[in-house]
Amino acid sequence: MLRGIHPLLGPELLHALRTMGHGDEIVIADANFPASTLGCPVVRADGVLAEPLLEAILTHFPLDTFAPASAFRMAMVDTPDVVPPVCVSFQKIITRLAGDFPVEPLERFAFYERSRKAAYVVATGELQLYANVILKKGVVRKEELAQFG
Amino acid sequence: MLRGIHPLLGPELLHALRTMGHGDEIVIADANFPASTLGCPVVRADGVLAEPLLEAILTHFPLDTFAPASAFRMAMVDTPDVVPPVCVSFQKIITRLAGDFPVEPLERFAFYERSRKAAYVVATGELQLYANVILKKGVVRKEELAQFG
Amino acid sequence: MLRGIHPLLGPELLHALRTMGHGDEIVIADANFPASTLGCPVVRADGVLAEPLLEAILTHFPLDTFAPASAFRMAMVDTPDVVPPVCVSFQKIITRLAGDFPVEPLERFAFYERSRKAAYVVATGELQLYANVILKKGVVRKEELAQFG
Amino acid sequence: MLRGIHPLLGPELLHALRTMGHGDEIVIADANFPASTLGCPVVRADGVLAEPLLEAILTHFPLDTFAPASAFRMAMVDTPDVVPPVCVSFQKIITRLAGDFPVEPLERFAFYERSRKAAYVVATGELQLYANVILKKGVVRKEELAQFG
Amino acid sequence: MLRGIHPLLGPELLHALRTMGHGDEIVIADANFPASTLGCPVVRADGVLAEPLLEAILTHFPLDTFAPASAFRMAMVDTPDVVPPVCVSFQKIITRLAGDFPVEPLERFAFYERSRKAAYVVATGELQLYANVILKKGVVRKEELAQFG
Amino acid sequence: MLRGIHPLLGPELLHALRTMGHGDEIVIADANFPASTLGCPVVRADGVLAEPLLEAILTHFPLDTFAPASAFRMAMVDTPDVVPPVCVSFQKIITRLAGDFPVEPLERFAFYERSRKAAYVVATGELQLYANVILKKGVVRKEELAQFG
Amino acid sequence: MLRGIHPLLGPELLHALRTMGHGDEIVIADANFPASTLGCPVVRADGVLAEPLLEAILTHFPLDTFAPASAFRMAMVDTPDVVPPVCVSFQKIITRLAGDFPVEPLERFAFYERSRKAAYVVATGELQLYANVILKKGVVRKEELAQFG
Amino acid sequence: MLRGIHPLLGPELLHALRTMGHGDEIVIADANFPASTLGCPVVRADGVLAEPLLEAILTHFPLDTFAPASAFRMAMVDTPDVVPPVCVSFQKIITRLAGDFPVEPLERFAFYERSRKAAYVVATGELQLYANVILKKGVVRKEELAQFG
Amino acid sequence: MLRGIHPLLGPELLHALRTMGHGDEIVIADANFPASTLGCPVVRADGVLAEPLLEAILTHFPLDTFAPASAFRMAMVDTPDVVPPVCVSFQKIITRLAGDFPVEPLERFAFYERSRKAAYVVATGELQLYANVILKKGVVRKEELAQFG
Amino acid sequence: MLRGIHPLLGPELLHALRTMGHGDEIVIADANFPASTLGCPVVRADGVLAEPLLEAILTHFPLDTFAPASAFRMAMVDTPDVVPPVCVSFQKIITRLAGDFPVEPLERFAFYERSRKAAYVVATGELQLYANVILKKGVVRKEELAQFG
C-alpha cells in the first residue's frame, strides 16, 4: 500500500501501467473474457470489479489525444445497437476522469483481435456481461508532474 | 509515466515499494555501496541521485511509528561523530516529508548486516560518500487513501 | 469463472488451495502485512477484502480437527486484550462456515514467525488494521465428496 | 482436496479451467493422442479415464451457447459414419450435464488442427480408441454464482 | 503409452522412477497428504488411487534388501495399534509383487520428516485416510534385465 | 534402472517416448547428424550405438499402421540406390521387432526437413555413416497392456 | 562505479553497448515512448534525462560512417518541419562528440518501426516531448584503443 | 583445462562444437561484428584473437567435403576485389589444418544473412577489420577416432 | 563428434570436465547409484558402461598429485576386504592411463557423503555392482599442451 | 567494442565490475583453478592470460584503501616462501596501476575459502601455475569522474 496511489492497483498492475507509453493499449476484461489465450500479457485482478478498476486506472493514466479514438467497448452480439448498462457506466467514468472521449463499440471478434495487440489484459472478477473496455494511453506532460518539484 | 506518481519511480521500484509491508526496510545506496553481494534484491537506479530519490520514495512511503527507529545512515569510518553533509540533507528531507524521525547512525559493517535483511537495495548513481540510508516502512491507514473513494 | 466454485478464488489461489494438505497453513494478510519478505510463496489478491476472502476460502477449505488450534489472528501491539472488530468478524465467519474453532491470538512477531512456515500468504487489499488470519487445513473426507459420484 | 470441487480436478487442471474464458476450447485426449506435439499447453492426467474426467470438467464448466457447435469428437478413420461407443457415452454425459449440445465429428487431421488452437489439452490415460473430445467454454452468469452471496 | 510399461505411470513418474537409485525413497501419498510443503519434488497423480499406483510402481521398482526396512506406512494418530484397511492392502500388494517386506508404521510427524528426504512424493487422488506409503528402492541386477539381450 | 524396461532408455528418453502419441515421429541420429540446429527437441545418447538403441526403442514403441510408411532412412548422397549396411540392419531389426514395415529412403535434405517436425531427435554416438532412421509411432491397444490388469 | 567510464552508464547499459556491433542501432527514448511493446530488449533508465544520457553513450560509442545516415529523431506529428528544441540539442551533442552526422527526421510510426529492429531501447525519464533518438553503431578501430597497450 | 584439447576452447565453445553436425556452420566474428542481433546463439571469446581461435577450432573440427564451399569471408565493402591480410592468413590456416578449401568472399549483408542461420557465432576480441569467417562442419569418420580404441 | 577428443564424451560431459579445476572431484556412477538425490549436478550417460567411460575421461583428465589419494571406490557392504572385479579393472585403467594412483576404498555411506561435494556425478548405464569411482582432478601443465603451439 | 574502455573486458565482465562496490572482491583465476565449484558467480575468460587481464581490470577498478590488505595471491604449496614469477609480475602491475598495495600470500585452502565469498571469479586461460589473485574494490571518488562533466 502506498500513499497517493490508488489502492486497487497492486504491484503487477502498477508495474504494467508504468511501462506503458504513448499509444499502448490495455484491456480491462470481465470474468468471462478469454484473457489467457490471446497471446498478450495478463494481469490477474480476480475479485475486483470492472468499474472501480477503471476508476483506479484512470486516476493515473491519461487517454490518447492524438488518435481518432482512445476507448473501445465490445458491442453486444445480437443487439449491437443496445449499449449495455455497464458500458454506459464506463462512458460516464471516462468522461468524468479522462475527458471527452467517446467509447467506441467494436464487434466481438474485432475486439478480440485488437486485444491481441494490447500491452496487457487485466482479468477482473466482473460478472456483468460485456464489461470489457480497451484504453489507449496518452502522453503525460511535464506540467502534470509539477507537484513533484 | 503516470499521473500523480513521482516520476523518478520506475516500474521496478514502484513494484518493489508496493509489495513492501509494515516493518519491511529498503536501502537507498550510493554508487560505491556493495549492493549486489549482500544477497538482497537490487533495483538499479544508475544515474539517479540519492536526495531526489529519497524525496520520491517518501512522497508515497510512510515511516514506521511502531519501531524505536525507522531511518538509519552509515556512520563515517574514521570520524563517527561527524555527520556528513548528505546525511544532514537526508535528515531534513525525512523531517519535512515523513515527520519527526531521527536518522540513526550505524557503524559501516552493522549497516551492511542490516542491509542483508532489507526487502530491497536501490543502487543509485550518487557519488557523494556515505549517501546511504535505510527506511523502515510504516502502516498506510485507510484515511490516507480516502481521496480514492 | 467456473460453476460451483467461489468466484473470488482466481486461478493461482485455487491452485494453491488445491495443493495444500492436512496440517498446511495459509495466511490471509491485510494490505499492510509484510507478505513478500517472509520467504513463503505469495498469492496477490489486491483489491479484495479480507472478510469476503475468508468466506470464499472456507467455502471449500476445512479446518484441522487434529490440532489444538487451527485459526490464529495477530494480537494488537499495545492492547493485546482487545479484539479488533475485524477479528470479531473473522471469528463469526469461521464459526458459521467451519465450526467451533476459536481464533487464537498470536503476538505480532510470533505471527510473522508462524507465517514464514505457511504454505502460502494471500496478500489482500484489506485496509482494516490487524486483518490477518492463519488457517490450518483439515482433512476432506470421502463422504464430503459423495456428490461427485 | 477441496470441498465442493470435483476431486478428479487436480491443481493444474483447476488452474487451467479457471483461466479459460468465453469461446476458449479444451481437448480431453485419450492415451494415444499426440498431445505434446501440437504446440498447445498440456495438462497430464495419466491414469484418469476420459469419461469420468469429462464428467468432472462439465460439473464446473459451461458449454458455449453462442457458437454453432461447442463439442467435437474425432471421426473414425475408415468408417466415419460409425460412432464409437465411447463417443456415444460422451454425448450422453454432455446431454445430461451441459444440455442439448450435439457432439460434432471432425476428420482426424481436422481434429488435430482444431486442437492446435485450444487453450489446453488434457492427456488422459484412456485406452479406448477415439476417446477424444473438444469442449468450447460458455459464459458463467452471475445468477449461477448466487449461492456464494 | 508404451508397450510393456505399466500404463498408470505417466512421463513424469517414469522419469522420476528411472532417476532413482539404491536407497532412494518415494512416497505414495493420499489426497490429504501435505505433499507440496515438505520441500521434496512432487509428481501429481490426481485422480489415481493409491493401491493401483502402488501395483504399477512395484511392477518395475525393486525394494531394498540391504536396509532393515524398505516400506513404511503412517500409524493412525489416536489408535496406533490399529492397521487401517488400506495399509493391510498395501502389505498384501508388497508381499505379492516385491516379496517379504513388512510395512513398518511410523508416527505421523516422523512420517513427514522421513518424507522430506524422499526423492519424490507422488500426490494421488486417494480418498481413504492413512493411504500413505514410503518405498525404498533396491538394486536392479543384470540378470533381471537379461530379457533385453 | 527399472525392471521390465529396456536399460538403454534413460529418464529423458523414457519421458520423451511416453509423451509421444499416434503419428508422432522420433529420429535416431548418428554422431554426425546436425541434431541441434533443426529446431526440434534433442535427447542426447552420446556413447550409445544406433542399432541397440533402435532395438531398445522398438521394445516399447509400436509403429504406425495407419500411415503409408512409418520408418524412413537417409538415402546415400551419391549412390542413392545403394542401401548402406547399417540400414540393412535397421530393416532387419524393424521387421523382427515391429513387423512388416519397409524403411523408406529419403534424400538427405528431405530427411532433414522431415526431422524438423519430429517430436524428438535422439543424438547417438554411432560412427557408421547414414545411421539415421525416423520412426512414426502407432497406437498402443488396450489388449497389449492386459498384463497390467 | 568504474574509473574512466561514464558514470551514467549502469551495468545493464554497459553490457548492452558492449555487445553491439557495426550497424546495430540503439534507441534513447523519452518517458512517454512505448518502449516495452515494440518487442526489442529494453534497458530502464528511469530518472535519467535524454541529453546527458546521449552524452554518456557517445563518450564510448562511435557512429557508423558506412551508412547514409546514423542518427534519427522523431518528426513532430502536426508540424513535421519544426525541429523541437531537444532535438536541436541532440544535433549539437552529436556534432560535438561524434562528428558531422545529421540527425534525420522519421515520421512517428516509421520511427516505431525502425525501433522494433533496434538492438536495445533505453527508457529514460525525460519529460520533454519528442526526445527520442536512434543511433547506429560504427566501427571501433584498433588505433582508438591504442592507449590500452 | 584438459589434456589433448586445444586450450583456447573453453567449456561453452567445446560444448557448442561438440553439438554441431554435418553441414552446420559456425561464425568466427571480429570485435565489431553485430554478433548479438542476428538471432543465432553467441559464444563470447572476448580477448581472444581470430587467427589463433581459427587454429584452435580447426584442430578438432573438419570442414565439409560434400558442399561446393565450406569456408566464407566477408568481402571488403568498397574494394571487394582486395583480400584483407587477415583473410589471407585465414586461407593459409585453413589450407594447412583442413586441406584445400578456398575461402569464398560474401558481400557484407549476404554474410550477415548466412550468419543468421549459423549454429553459433563466436564473438572474439579481434580488432583487425574483416576478420570474420564462416566454417561449415564436415563428417568425422570412424577411422579418425581409431586412437581411442 | 570432434577430432582428437574421445567420442564417448558428449557435449555436457565435455563442458563439465572443462570447467573442473585442481582438486575438483567427479563421480563415475553405476546404474544403481542414487545419483539424483545427492544434490550435486548430474550428467546422464545412460547406455554407457563404466570402464570405457573411465578410459574416455582419463584420456583428457589428469589425477591430482598434491592430495594423499585421488581415486576412490565403494567398499563392498558385507565383505569390505574383497575387491570386486570391476574395481580391479578400474585400478588397471587408472594405472595405465594416469599413473601410480591407488584406488582407495570408502565405506558405502562415506562414499555417498564424498559424492555430495563432487563437481559432477556421471550416471552411467553400468550394471555391474560397485562400479562407482571418484576421481580428483590434477593440474594440466603448460608443457602438456605444447602440441597446440 | 567501446571507446575508452579496455578491450579485454567483454560484456559480462564489464557488467560484473560495474555492479561491484566498496569492499567487494574479485578473483582472477588461472586455468587450473577450481572456479566452478566454490559457489561464487564465474565469468569465463578462456584464452585470456592473467597478466593482461589484471592490467585491464586495474585500468578501471580502484583498490580499497580502507582495508589492511586489498590484494591476495596463493602461496606455493611446498615452498610458501618462494614468490612465483607470475606473482612478482602481479605485484609490479598493481604497484604501477593501483599504487602501493602489497600482494599478500594466502595458503592454498585459505585462498579458496576467501574466494567463496568473492563477488566473482574470472576463469582465465592462464597456464602459469599460481597465477591467481584476489582484488578488493575501493571507492571511486567524484573527482575521478570529473572528465565526464
Asked whether B and G share 3 or more beta-carbon pairs under 8 angstroms, the answer is yes
Comparing CB atoms, the residue among C22, C140, C145 nearest residue E34 is: C22
Residue range H121-141: mean pLDDT, rounded: 98
- C72 falls in which pLDDT band (50, 70, 90)? very high
Chain B residues with CB under 8 Å of A1 CB are 18, 21, 140, 145
What is the share, in percent, of chain J residues with pLDDT greater than 70? 100
- On whether residue D40 sits in a domain, the answer given is yes
Nearest to D130 by CA among D93, D89, D97: D89
For position A149, what pLDDT does the model report? Answer: 75
Please name the residue of chain E whose CA is at the shortest distance from the CA of residue F13.
E15
I64: which DSSP letter? P
In the set E30, E81, E112, E120, the catalytic residue is: E112
Residue range E52-73: mean pLDDT, rounded: 98
Cell numbers 512421463 label which residue?
E11
C46 vs A125: CB contact, 8 Å cut-off? no
Residue H105 scores a pLDDT above 90: yes
The strand pairing partners of H135, in sequence order, are H26, H71
- I66 falls in which pLDDT band (50, 70, 90)? very high
Q: Are B60 and B6 in contact (CB under 8 A)?
A: yes
Nearest to I29 by CA among I83, I72, I79: I72
What is the share, in percent, of chain B residues with pLDDT greater than 70? 100
Residue range G132-148: mean pLDDT, rounded: 96
* Number of C–E residue contacts, CB under 8 Å: 35
Looking at the structure of chain I, the number of domains it has is: 1
- B149 falls in which pLDDT band (50, 70, 90)? confident
Residue C145 scores a pLDDT above 90: yes
Comparing CB atoms, the residue among I8, I56, I125 nearest residue F7 is: I125
Residue B144 scores a pLDDT above 90: yes
Rounded mean pLDDT of chain H? 97
Comparing CB atoms, the residue among G47, G123, G127 nearest residue B47 is: G47
Rounded mean pLDDT of chain C? 97
In the set J6, J24, J60, J112, the catalytic residue is: J112
Cell numbers 473426507 label which residue?
C141
E77-118 pLDDT, tens digit each: 999 999 999 999 999 999 999 999 999 999 999 999 999 999
- J81 falls in which pLDDT band (50, 70, 90)? very high
Which position has the higher pLDDT, E138 or J149? E138
Strand, coil or helix: A21: coil
- On whether residue B101 sits in a domain, the answer given is yes
* Number of A–D residue contacts, CB under 8 Å: 34
- On whether residue B146 sits in a domain, the answer given is no
Q: Which residues of I are catalytic?
A: 22, 64, 112
- On whether residue F6 sits in a domain, the answer given is no
Q: Are A110 and A10 in contact (CB under 8 A)?
A: no
Nearest to H119 by CA among H24, H44, H4: H24
- On whether residue E3 sits in a domain, the answer given is no
Chain J residues with CB under 8 Å of I22 CB are 32-34
E→F contacts (Cβ < 8 Å), by residue, are: 1-12, 14-19, 21, 55-56, 59-62, 140, 144-145, 148-149
Is residue I97 packed enough to be buried (19+ CB in 10 Å), middle (13-18) or exposed (0-12)? middle
Q: Are D7 and D100 in contact (CB under 8 A)?
A: no
- Give the ipTM: 0.97
**Which contacts of C143-148 are long-range, i.e. CB under 8 A and separated by 24 or more positions?**
C144/C62, C144/D3, C145/D1, C145/D3, C145/D7, C145/E127, C148/D6, C148/D7, C148/D8, C148/D56, C148/D59
Q: Domain with D120 in it: what CATH number?
A: 3.40.1650.10
Residue J149 scores a pLDDT above 90: no
Comparing CB atoms, the residue among G8, G44, G127 nearest residue B12 is: G44
Which position has the higher pLDDT, B52 or C149? B52
Number of neighbours of residue F92 by Cβ within 10 angstroms? 12
J22 is catalytic: yes
Question: Domain limits at A73?
Answer: 23-138
A2 vs B11: CB contact, 8 Å cut-off? no
- On whether residue I3 sits in a domain, the answer given is no
H22 is catalytic: yes
Rounded mean pLDDT of chain E? 97
For position C112, what pLDDT does the model report? Answer: 98
Chain A residues with CB under 8 Å of B2 CB are 17-18, 60-61, 140
| E strand or H helix at G91 | helix G85-97
Residue H149 scores a pLDDT above 90: no
G93-106 pLDDT, tens digit each: 999 999 999 999 99
* CA distance linking residue B39 with residue B113, whole number of Å: 11
Q: How far is A77 from chain B (nearest CA, A)?
A: 34
G27-84 pLDDT, tens digit each: 999 999 999 999 999 999 999 999 999 999 999 999 999 999 999 999 999 999 999 9
Residue type, J21: G
For position D124, what pLDDT does the model report? Answer: 98
For position G73, what pLDDT does the model report? Answer: 98
Q: Where are the beta strands (DSSP E) in I3-102?
A: 25-29, 42-45, 71-74
Rounded mean pLDDT of chain B? 97
What is the share, in percent, of chain H residues with pLDDT greater than 90? 99
Comparing CB atoms, the residue among A35, A36, A129 nearest residue D139 is: A129
- F149 falls in which pLDDT band (50, 70, 90)? confident
- On whether residue C8 sits in a domain, the answer given is no
For position J131, what pLDDT does the model report? Answer: 98
For position C2, what pLDDT does the model report? Answer: 98
Rounded mean pLDDT of chain J? 97
Grid cell in block for residue H120 = 553459433
The phi, psi pair for B143, rounded to 5°, reads -65, -30
Q: How far is F1 from chain I (nearest CA, A)?
A: 6
Neighbours of chain J (3+ CB pairs under 8 A): B, G, H, I
- On whether residue J146 sits in a domain, the answer given is no
F118-128 pLDDT, tens digit each: 999 999 999 99
